[in-house]
Structure 1
Amino acid sequence: MPWKILKMKYGKKLVLFSMFVMNLVDEPAPEITIEQGVLIGKISRSGTIFEYTGIPYAKTDKSTRFQTPELSPKWEGVYKATEEFHMCPQQTLFGVMGSEDCLKINVYVPADFKNTKPLAVMVYIYGGAFTFGSGGKILYGPKFLVKKNVILVTFNYRIGLLGFLCLKIKEAPGNAGIKDQIAALRWVKKNIAAFGGDPDNITVFGHSSGGTSLSFIAASQASNGLFNRAIIQSGTSVFNWSLNRKPVWVASLLAKAIGYYTKDPKQLYEIFSKMDYKDIIAIKAKKPLEMYYDTGILHLPCIETNIIDIEAAITEIPYNIFTNKTEHIDVMYGTASNEGLFLTPGLSEEMLDSRNGRYLFASDLQFPSESKAMETAKKVHKFYFGDDIISSRKILNVSKLYSHLCFEFPAIFEAEYVLNQNNSKVFSYIFNYQGWRNLAKLASGYWFEGGATHGDELFYLFDSYLYPIVISEADRKMIDQITTLWTNFAKYGDPTPDITDLSCRWKPGVKHNLQFLYIDNESKMGPMLNPEGYQFWKDIYSKYRKTDIT
């Protein structure tokens, strides 16, 4: 049917349909000129955010696999920064997804900000056990935070074996994923002014393995001057699960799973460097059960060897650095009130029973004798399980052990180290709110247990494609509360400055007296959550903490 006839017959309907289609077309955001060239983004559907997504901040491919990323090359013309779905290679429900050249960064800018002075910048490092995750809007949408008039930056970094193979040789020195993160922070420092951001007011925040990464980065000389503040959520580098203490052995386990039997670093590199990246990601291996209660995670940061012309990211056990470092960076540390619930689903009766008679602590402790180690292990068992054996009937006791040992007390210990060594302000929190966006709590199967679990606060900090709706008014208030706290810290170095309308003043800790903000419907300051458990583990770590990597 010719257009004139269509227009006569359906005129008004066609106009309305055309307007609808036009609204589906992405409106371009302003052009930005950075060192690599000119780029253009898009305006969010709400019209409130300029989105620049999928910008290459560094480069990696098969030739630089396992190594420090290279600088991303300049481009000709205008780069279309609108790619939303990008990730580094990882195993998913749909098989291995992602590309090896995956080092992309996303910048989200308030569309209505007045360019009177540069905006505070918040850079997020995602978690995922160093094995999965990406910086995209599937989980980490910008709306909640950008609404508070800050610039949000998210990015990808290499994970799994591609990011954390550590052979301590030039071809695979270790910590490629951490070096990606440092490269992203250098890119932000260099380029964020072009987006209206303040390169002298950058706050980095991260959760779980992202928080652990940030803790390592804060302790690294390679990050000096790149950011001003840090928010470390449910993960620090002094956790017992944060460090790969036997990286070449772990690499040999992975090689053995695909039919190679060697512990020689050069041979291991030759094996992995020649494989297709999808085959590398698909490798499955398990650590054998040992006396120590070490993590089953295979891909972790490591202590690097000094190699000529190779910049190292991690050269010392973080505990040793934190107890000697004097650089001033203000920090927020925090955990959820019931972290361990997240880890208990899927623990079989066999897995639980296997810990009976073994140590209930990790190999970051070192004892003068096996008998002293077993004596301490029995004290731990008694503290958490009494005279009962570890079984599914005691699953909440297991959860409590996980909460204390893996999250809660290491965060307190690191906060104390920072406070005792320099003049940094340290703010500590416990996230205790339970609402309809506590997706991790809901997925754990322990909805009716008190408090919040690992990762619950993320859905109040970020909107996401995974769960875009806000059901209750209480959840809406929590979103406003937590994003105000986080962005105030980024803007002013104080989560509750005088200009805030929040009812509770968040006080920083002082030496020998940490104070905690309990984030809840009615937030309030309070004492340590589990003082008896804290003192129990403090005594053990004071006596037996391992301070070397041998």
Structure 2
Amino acid sequence: FLGVVQTEGGQVEGKSHRMGLFRTVDVFKGIPFADVPGKWEKPKPHPGWSGILKAIKYRDRCLQVTLLQTKTQGSEDCLYLNIFVPQGRKLSSNLPVMVYLFGGAFLLGASNDVAILGDSLYDGKEMAERGNVIIVTVNYRVGTLGFLSSGDARLPGNYGLWDQHAAISWVRRNIEAFGGNPDNITIFGQSAGAASVSFQMLSPYSKGLFRRAISQCGVALSPWALQNNPMALTKKVARRVGCWRTNIDLMITCLKMSDPVGLTMAGKIDVLLILGKGVVMDLLEFSPVVDGDFIPDEPSKLFHNAAQFDYLAGVNSMDGHFFAGVDVPNINQKNATTVRGLLAGLTKEKGNAAIDSAYSTYTSHWGSAPEQAVVKKTVADIETDFLFLVPTQIALQLHANNSSGAHTYSYLFNMKTRIPGFPHWVEAEHAEDLQYVFGKPFATPLVYFPRHRDLSGYMIAYWTNFAKTGDPSKGDSRVPVPWPAFTKYHHPYLTINHKITKSSVRYYTTTVLCYVLLLDAAVNYYYHFILCTS
């Protein structure tokens, strides 16, 4: 057991958890990595403490709306992280470190988000112990307080990204005292956390800060990951809290004096106004902005900054299904579903030719009288491609094109859903990969089958091998098949489920990606051309 550890802020003491014969994990919960942040200010160093900080309970999440959007939870005093250190017969040293950034649409979430059963969803004990790596989970500001921006220097935005950066920097400076290797840090995240990982890679502030990165279901190029009209959103929030002024300076002054809880509630999603009217894209408003500083330019133009990092990225086969249920509410009911309306909503900036082209591509396998299940699955596929798959493939291509010796890997997670009540055609829902990466089938075995433990073992092995060596196939953990690298001219991906064999290594058909790119308003012609001709 590590006992008392000296950090830059003072001494901390965690708690040891037995994991098996001669194996324990030391857990430190609620270590501050920055001071209580000022409203819409960058994080500041923590002043430190005297005595020994008992790091045995999770701290509050950052102030945010609840899942049902009816009230707020959390605190402004929220910049804390948690550390999970595996121990064998002798004290661990020089271990690879994996820093996790949670998802939640940049609107909600926490480093200790709830699991349905057992400990926190992001509890790092199983992954740390089975992969022999240190896991760190961190909080960052979300919603109005994390991402409101005026689009200029008055309210530059990206406060949540600065929090993440401060946390990763703290880990680099302090993790050696916990037995970690500060020169071998991997950042990983899911959904908005995956896009955050991507933004951290692209930022000039990350040079030399970490070595590798994993994006699970989201990248900076995802159409929901960047707010292109931040001032319109700021004016909307101002109206809701009684700060609307024609003079922008007066409006921002008023916002800065407003109650944080009211500001947070002003950022909630009006789900009822949207259902069946428009697309889910219009719901996800709080996200990073091009601020000329942390994100100095359009993300697609910043991949030279990511050339040094090994990168592993992929999506879940039905990432878009939940979002399709918002855009096309009858997708999970018996009623008939149509595709053209969804394509029109997603391609509204592209015109009718794009709709026709995309429609013919997506319906080419239907035949003359397609079953409703086929039509409904096509709707989910379109949404998955638009929100997740295509942006991720472009990010992988740009990473491989710009790489200076760093590795690139691509995957598709398609384990059948465990969520009861969904139609038979539904595969891996958004966020269903997390339970396996964090070892839930081992932590709560009664609610899983052996196949789920197989899958969890594979994912922990690939993810932690990648953190150790930059190659998911190489490391201490045995994997079922070698995972070939994605390169400039060679685009394999690994299909991840409970039966991984040699045939799990596959290739996307470029024609489908070509047509799908017509949907993607965020990517310019040049990158469209690369994918269509590669």
Query: Smaller-chain TM-score range?
Result: 0.7 to 0.9
Say if 2:287 is the partner of 1:304.
no
Indicate the residue corresponding to 1:44 in structure 2. Answer: 17
Question: How far apart are the structure 2 equivalents of 1:345 and 1:455?
Answer: 16
Question: How far apart are the structure 2 equivalents of 1:56 and 1:122?
Answer: 18
Indicate the residue corresponding to 1:141 in structure 2. Answer: 123
Secondary structure of 1:523's counterpart equals coil
* Cα deviation digits, residues 392-428 of structure 1 (max 9, x gap): 9944332111111111111111101111122321111
Report the alpha carbon displacement of residue 233 of structure 1 after superposing the two structures with TM. 0.8
Report the alpha carbon displacement of residue 39 of structure 1 after superposing the two structures with TM. 1.0
**Structure 2 unmatched ranges of 5 or more:** 113-118, 332-336, 527-534
Say if 2:406 is the partner of 1:424.
yes
Query: Any conservation in 1 of the 2:15–2:27 contact (CA below 8 Å)?
Result: yes
Number of aligned residues:
497
Does the C-alpha gap of structure 1 residues 160 and 54 become closer, same or farther in structure 2, counting only changes over 3 Å?
same
Does the C-alpha gap of structure 1 residues 425 and 230 become closer, same or farther in structure 2, counting only changes over 3 Å?
same
Letter in 2 for 1:408: L
Within the candidate set 489, 496, 501, 2:478 is matched to 501
Question: How far apart are the structure 2 equivalents of 1:339 and 1:72?
Answer: 38
Query: Any conservation in 2 of the 1:126–1:133 contact (CA below 8 Å)?
Result: yes
Secondary structure of 1:71's counterpart equals coil
Does the C-alpha gap of structure 1 residues 240 and 227 become closer, same or farther in structure 2, counting only changes over 3 Å?
same
Does 313-322 or 267-276 show the bigger shift?
A: 267-276
Say if 2:359 is the partner of 1:377.
no
Say which one has the larger Rg: 1
Report the alpha carbon displacement of residue 95 of structure 1 after superposing the two structures with TM. 3.0
Report the alpha carbon displacement of residue 45 of structure 1 after superposing the two structures with TM. 5.9
Indicate the residue corresponding to 1:18 in structure 2. Answer: none
Does 207-216 or 510-519 show the bigger shift?
A: 510-519
Indicate the residue corresponding to 1:126 in structure 2. Answer: 102
Does the C-alpha gap of structure 1 residues 49 and 68 become closer, same or farther in structure 2, counting only changes over 3 Å?
same
Query: Any conservation in 2 of the 1:29–1:51 contact (CA below 8 Å)?
Result: no
Does the C-alpha gap of structure 1 residues 402 and 253 become closer, same or farther in structure 2, counting only changes over 3 Å?
same
Report the alpha carbon displacement of residue 533 of structure 1 after superposing the two structures with TM. 2.2
Indicate the residue corresponding to 2:435 in structure 1. Answer: 459
Say if 2:516 is the partner of 1:537.
yes
Report the alpha carbon displacement of residue 523 of structure 1 after superposing the two structures with TM. 1.4
Does the C-alpha gap of structure 1 residues 113 and 208 become closer, same or farther in structure 2, counting only changes over 3 Å?
farther
Query: Any conservation in 2 of the 1:54–1:105 contact (CA below 8 Å)?
Result: yes
Indicate the residue corresponding to 1:317 in structure 2. Answer: 298
Indicate the residue corresponding to 1:403 in structure 2. Answer: 384
Question: How far apart are the structure 1 equivalents of 2:408 and 2:26?
Answer: 33
Does the C-alpha gap of structure 1 residues 374 and 262 become closer, same or farther in structure 2, counting only changes over 3 Å?
farther
Query: Any conservation in 2 of the 1:292–1:362 contact (CA below 8 Å)?
Result: no
Report the alpha carbon displacement of residue 183 of structure 1 after superposing the two structures with TM. 0.3
Say if 2:206 is the partner of 1:226.
no
Secondary structure of 1:243's counterpart equals coil
Query: Any conservation in 1 of the 2:339–2:379 contact (CA below 8 Å)?
Result: no
Does the C-alpha gap of structure 1 residues 167 and 539 become closer, same or farther in structure 2, counting only changes over 3 Å?
closer
Letter in 2 for 1:506: W
Report the alpha carbon displacement of residue 67 of structure 1 after superposing the two structures with TM. 1.6
TM-score (norm 1): 0.82
Within the candidate set 77, 84, 90, 1:101 is matched to 77
Letter in 2 for 1:232: S
- Superposition RMSD on alpha carbons, in Å? 3.3
Does 348-357 or 328-337 show the bigger shift?
A: 348-357
User: What does residue range 319-398 of structure 1 map to in structure 2 within 5 Å?
Assistant: 319-322=300-303, 324-325=304-305, 327-347=307-327, 356=341, 359-361=344-346, 373-384=351-362, 394-398=375-379
Letter in 1 for 2:65: Q
Indicate the residue corresponding to 2:50 in structure 1. Answer: 76
Report the alpha carbon displacement of residue 362 of structure 1 after superposing the two structures with TM. 5.9
TM-score (norm 2): 0.84
Secondary structure of 1:527's counterpart equals strand
User: What does residue range 488-527 of structure 1 map to in structure 2 within 5 Å?
Assistant: 488-497=465-474, 500-524=477-501, 525-527=504-506
Query: Any conservation in 2 of the 1:252–1:263 contact (CA below 8 Å)?
Result: no
Within the candidate set 396, 415, 418, 2:396 is matched to 415
Percent identity at matched positions?
28
Does the C-alpha gap of structure 1 residues 97 and 294 become closer, same or farther in structure 2, counting only changes over 3 Å?
closer
Question: How far apart are the structure 1 equivalents of 2:49 and 2:496?
Answer: 46
Query: Any conservation in 1 of the 2:439–2:457 contact (CA below 8 Å)?
Result: no
Say if 2:73 is the partner of 1:86.
no
Report the alpha carbon displacement of residue 458 of structure 1 after superposing the two structures with TM. 0.3
Query: Any conservation in 1 of the 2:103–2:191 contact (CA below 8 Å)?
Result: yes
Secondary structure of 2:84's counterpart equals strand
Indicate the residue corresponding to 2:425 in structure 1. Answer: 449
Does the C-alpha gap of structure 1 residues 349 and 520 become closer, same or farther in structure 2, counting only changes over 3 Å?
closer
Query: Any conservation in 2 of the 1:334–1:411 contact (CA below 8 Å)?
Result: yes
Does 205-214 or 169-178 show the bigger shift?
A: 169-178
User: What does residue range 129-278 of structure 1 map to in structure 2 within 5 Å?
Assistant: 129-136=105-112, 138-147=120-129, 148-262=131-245, 264-278=247-261
Query: Any conservation in 2 of the 1:206–1:231 contact (CA below 8 Å)?
Result: yes
